[in-house]
Amino acid sequence: MSANNERRGEIRAALPVQLRFNLLSTLDAYIRFYSPRLDIPDALEPPSDAEARNELEVQLHRIEAKLDFVITLLADKISRKDYHYQGVVLDVSEHGLRMLTTGEIPEGTLVELGLTLPHQPHRTMDIAGQVIWLEEREREAGKAIGINFLDILPEDQDAIVHYIFQKQREEIRRQREQEY
């Protein structure tokens, strides 16, 4: 099977987001930065009537919970890895992505990626990968690069699959609306 057929064998979705990355000398140089999954509460639960003596206590409880969440977010951003390169993701699958970058990155190069999905802007996935193909782009400045994920957390892979299915549902809905 050719490289072009291999890279199209998976379900992919467009993901036009910025990507930060570093080049690695070996896979052993990759150190995972664990970013705990943060569940953003849709609505904070106020204390029971017995606990809430008045409206002020309820509001203070909500503010405290929101502050705890903001502090957790800020601590996560402060301790984030320092990425030296940037690119733009063109599309993504559960096993890799295609990106556009202006730098010279040879085939076989190991990279560590900081990927943020649009529906989870508070969380950056830390992924190790390898450049498996390069493609010159005539219309755009830079090269398209195919990256195969080598080290990705299962929950990150699940989030990517969820994103792909969400995009497919949106596209099906859009096509149905155009038919009617």
| 37-75 pLDDT tens trace | 545 444 455 555 555 567 777 788 788 878 777 766 665
Share of the chain above pLDDT 70, in %: 78
Domain with 93, as residue range(s), is 3-31+82-179
Q: Which H/E stretch holds residue 99? A: strand 96-101
Domain count, the chain: 1
- As a whole number, mean pLDDT of residues 98-123 equals 89
**Is there a contact between 100 and 135 (Cβ–Cβ < 8 Å)?**
no
State residue 43's pLDDT score: 46
The answer to the question of residue 128 being in a domain is yes
- Asked if 43 and 71 count as a contact pair (C-beta separation under 8 A), the reply is no
Q: Give domain status of residue 19, yes or no.
A: yes
75-84: long-range contacts, CB 8 A cutoff, minimum separation 24: 76/35, 76/36, 76/38, 76/122, 76/123, 79/33, 80/33, 80/35, 80/114, 80/124, 81/22, 81/33, 81/112, 81/114, 81/126, 83/20, 83/21, 83/22, 83/112, 83/114, 84/22, 84/23
Report if residue 75 sits inside a domain. Answer: no
Inside any domain, residue 55: no
Instruction: Kindly state whether residue 63 falls inside one of the protein's structural domains.
Output: no
Residue 71 maps to a domain: no
Q: Which of 114, 79, 73 is nearest to 97 (CA)?
A: 114
pLDDT tens, 130-177? 999 999 877 777 899 999 999 999 999 999 999 999 999 999 999 999
CATH classification of the domain holding 160: 2.40.10.220
Asked if the model's pLDDT at residue 100 lies above 80, the reply is yes
Structure-model confidence comparison of residues 77 and 150, the more confident one: 150
Residue 38 is assigned to a structural domain of this protein: no
